[in-house]
């Protein structure tokens, strides 16, 4: 299993806001990423291999760096084990469920 800091995530396209999902409805998030992550129950990241990974139990580490516990990993992300705490940057977040 890789060290959580060594996992590489695909960054969100520049200029594209992450999707905020509330009650099953997707919308753009207009506040800061930090505010979105503090409000989120879970976030979706995409591994370097293109597999979606769902994280919960989000915690700020410092600056734009966060950690979260892996709740679900799509096929192609088998190296990322469930319940593992992984590290990510705010720019890696594709969407958040609030």
DSSP assignment string, 27-59: EE--S-HHHHHHH-SEEEEEBTTS-EEEEEEEE
Q: pLDDT tens digit string along 60-81? A: 999 999 999 999 999 988 889 9
Low-confidence ranges of the chain (pLDDT < 50): 1-2
What pLDDT score was predicted for residue 4?
Answer: 58
- Domain range annotation of the chain: 4-97
What is the percent of the chain where pLDDT is above 70? 94
Predicted pLDDT of residue 6: 65
């Amino acid at each position: 299993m890789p060290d959580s800091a060594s996992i590489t995530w695909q960054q969100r396209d520049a200029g594209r806001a992450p999707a905020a999902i509330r009650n099953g409805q997707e919308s753009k998030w207009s506040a800061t990423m930090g505010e979105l992550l503090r409000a989120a129950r879970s976030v979706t990241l995409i591994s370097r291999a293109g597999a979606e990974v769902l994280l919960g139990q989000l915690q700020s580490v410092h600056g734009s760096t966060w950690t979260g516990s892996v709740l679900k990993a799509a096929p192609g992300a088998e190296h990322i084990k469930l319940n593992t705490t992984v590290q990510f940057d705010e720019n890696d977040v594709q969407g958040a469920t609030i």
